[in-house]
Amino acid sequence: MQQGPVDLVDESRRHVARQVMDDLGEATISVEITTPERLATIEREWRDLSGRALADNAFLEPSLIVAAADARAAEIAVLLAWSAPQPDTPSRLVGLWALARQHAFPFLPVPMLKTPVLDHAFLGTPVLDRDNAAAAFSGMLDAIATERSLPDTLSIGSLDASGPVAAVVADVLARRGSSSTRLETRLRPALLKSVAGSGASPVAPSRAKALRKKQQRLGRQGLVSCTRHAGDSEIAPAIEEFLTLEASGWKGRKSSRGQAILRTPALASFFKRTIVALANRHQAQIIALRLDGRAIAMQVTVQSGETAFTWKSAYDEAHRACAPGLLLHQEVTNRFLADPALHAIDSCNHHDTGHMAEFWAGRREVSDLIITVRPQRSLAFGLVSTVEIAHRRLRAMARRMRALLQAARQHHAAPAVPAGKAGKVQP
């Protein structure tokens, strides 16, 4: 465990934070700690902030936060940072963050704040005004520190460590003398149009040939089509279709560790409400690969600002041999690259794996952190950091053991090579 402020970003990115803080001056910020219901009254201010944001985060969209508050039992605190009004200039929203209050672990009754506010969200980065980012974030930490009803220990999951907000977070924590523990840093696939070489990866000729054969094989089974669902009348049926498709696969089986959305009624309600609300604002769509009109692969995408997030995907395992998920991914990638309104697409993958890792050249670095809002280290901060690190190490050991056992079983199950056939390729 690292004690004291950790270096969240490298020096090449830190100049972004320094420039922001140098340009900031002595901006006066007030922070409002409120409930998700308050977000319904500041829609115009939120849209204005989205246009000035240092980084986009679709998982802080007000409609998603409101639906999440109804879907989970934990209390969600919303932090709104406002700039002080100047002559002839009204106060405006310069920061938004949502934090869920919960215990660190079921066996560890230590309260803490967590973002994102639910497990099915994949980015904990606060949305900050590009010209007031440091003051807004520092004001949020001050507000938490002075509010006695809120814990002073925060868990930030999937902070965009490769972006400018992480640089601001690092410098603000260093200036405050606040302690931080970096639990994990990982990469996940992304399409970054503004970064050379971070678009679609070139497909090897052999790989492209194999995919064409799979598409032809699928075409021999029926009429193949690709449909986009985003309008008011078509998004709700598409959501139901997606949830059914997801539940029909490994995520829906009770024997698996998967968590199909339909297995949890509150989660299904959250998902339906959120997608419909975002689609009504042209911020959500579902793209489906169909065989004779029936969906065999579906991709749910949400958008905020200039960034799209490939939130959820599912495919029909009965057609696994034709790779419907890969074929749909190719279509989705081409559509993203052709959309001039999008500058980046986040895969929302937990790790740098899967077909997006193969077909997208860009990478987004994300970090999981534990921070304290106070200058001094608290007992809760040290305890949560220690237990969380130990918990992750145990999980990593368990994954390695499962992989070793699986490899051993496959080795023993492999058929023996007949005598005299060694070195020959088996059919």
Residues 6 or more apart whose CB falls under 8 angstroms from that of 400 comprise none
Distance CA 366, CA 122 (A): 10
Question: According to the model, what pLDDT value does residue 199 have?
Answer: 82
- The SS3 assignment for 118 reads coil
Question: According to the model, what pLDDT value does residue 5 have?
Answer: 36
Q: What is the dihedral of CA 99, 105, 111, 112, to 10 degrees?
A: -30
Question: In terms of C-beta distances under 8 Å and separation of at least 24 residues, what long-range contacts does 238-243 make, across chains too?
Answer: 238/286, 238/288, 238/298, 239/271, 239/272, 239/275, 239/276, 239/286, 241/288, 241/295, 241/298, 242/286, 242/288, 242/295, 242/298, 242/300, 242/312, 242/314, 243/268, 243/271
Domains of the chain listed by start with CATH number: 11-186+366-400 (3.40.630), 205-342 (3.40.630)
In Å, what is the CA distance from 107 to each residue of 14, 43, 70, 102, 387? Answer: 38, 39, 25, 12, 11
Q: What angle do CA 332, 335, 339 make, to 5 degrees?
A: 140
120 within 8 A of 59, measured Cβ to Cβ = no
Written as one string, the DSSP assignment of 382-424 is HHHHHHHHHHHHHHHHHHHHHHHHHHHHHHHHSPPPPTT-TTS
Distance CA 239, CA 229 (A): 9
Distance CA 158, CA 122 (A): 6
- The SS3 assignment for 126 reads coil
Q: What angle do CA 90, 55, 359 make, to 5 degrees?
A: 155
Helix (H) or strand (E) run with residue 216 in it: helix 205-219
pLDDT profile of the chain (427 residues), mean per 10: 39 40 61 96 96 96 94 88 81 96 80 93 96 96 95 94 94 94 94 83 84 94 96 92 93 70 92 96 97 97 96 95 94 92 93 88 94 88 88 84 82 63 42
Q: Where are the alpha helices (DSSP H) in 300-349?
A: 324-338
Q: What is the pTM of this model?
A: 0.85
The tokens for 178 are 């606040």
Dihedral (CA of 255, 260, 263, 266) sign: positive
φ, ψ dihedrals at 184, nearest 5°: -165, 145
Looking only at the bridges linking them, the beta strands covering 108-115 and 344-346 are unpaired
Q: What is the dihedral of CA 122, 124, 130, 132, to 10 degrees?
A: 160
Residues 6 or more apart whose CB falls under 8 angstroms from that of 108 comprise 383, 384, 387
Q: Is the peptide bond before 340 cis (omega within 30 degrees of 0)?
A: no
Distance CA 2, CA 381 (A): 12
